[in-house]
Amino acid sequence: MKLLRYGPKGQEKPGLLDSTGTIRDLSAHVADIAGEALSDASLARIAALDPSSLPAVETARYGPCVGQVGKFICIGLNYSDHAAEAGMAVPGEPVIFAKATSAICGANDDIEIPRGSAATDWEVELGVVIGKEAKYVTEADALDHVAGYCVVNDLSERDYQIKHEGQWTKGKSADTFGPIGPWIVTRDEVPDPQNLSMYLDVNGKRMQTGTTATMVYGVAHVVAYLSRFMSLQPGDIISTGTPPGVGMGMKPEPVYLKPGDQMELGVEGLGVQVQRTFQG
């Protein structure tokens, strides 16, 4: 099942994508794709609906696929080959940082290059959407707390992230630096989150090609690990790291986004994002 939010920014409505690719309105059944609506019981109720009985929606903007996100947690250096291109060691434990929820935007929304930025970069990632509170969960039980998966572009300003003192968060949190979607694919349709191919193109040139099979720490491990340090709540998003091919790692010189560039990125079975950049 593919769940989404559609409509103008700040006025998104809940929906699902049917087997023909038509958006169907879920407003009569759930208030939003958020919080309790992501529980197993709620997802079962939605799955029992006949999509053809729901109002069809004409072409509409895809909003962020999750509303009212409480936490946007990211895992750094979670692909060994990406750590190598960044010149950093593979971490002995997952590297955790936060992305401001104000960075969240729709999958195909334009991306704002921050004022003063000289190093805005791309990162295709597998996003994990929590559906049930996770606190001190075991790795064996961790995926039971996942509602589904989505595509994330973990955009980054590398100078702010690395050259300025302090934590990575300030290089990760600019407005529009967190496109999520276009939809959530529920976990029953993703039997193995560690076997998904992924890619990212800039202006039609393939920059990233990877697979979640090469993650250092898989989804179940990450969910269990995070739940030791904070409770994960329904609607929280975990972005699980990126494969090699980011602009920072290009040789002989880094390559960064410019106004007017176009990115296309996707994760197998989870949909595609297309974004164009503009100067903020």
Place of tokens 């980011």: 246
- Do 90 and 83 form a contact (C-beta atoms < 8 A)? yes
Domain boundaries, the chain: 2-57, 72-279
Question: Tens of pLDDT along 113-147?
Answer: 999 999 999 999 999 999 999 999 999 999 999 99
pLDDT > 80? residue 69: yes
Question: Tens of pLDDT along 80-123?
Answer: 877 777 777 888 999 999 999 999 999 999 999 999 999 999 99
Give the sign of the dihedral formed by CA 11, CA 8, CA 101, CA 270: positive
pLDDT for 258 equals 98
H or E segment and range at residue 45 = helix 40-47
pLDDT for 87 equals 79
- In the chain, the largest separation of any two C-alpha atoms, in whole Å, equals 56
pLDDT for 163 equals 82
pLDDT > 80? residue 40: yes
pLDDT for 166 equals 73
**DSSP secondary structure string, 208-270?**
EEEEGGGBSS-HHHHHHHHHHHS-B-TT-EEE----S--GGG-SSS-----TT-EEEEEETTT
pLDDT for 256 equals 98
The whole-angstrom separation of Cα 72 and Cα 237 is: 5
pLDDT > 90? residue 246: yes
Percent with pLDDT over 70 in the chain? 100
Question: Tens of pLDDT along 219-237?
Answer: 999 999 999 999 999 999 9
Architecture of the domain defined by 72-279? Alpha-Beta Complex (3.90)
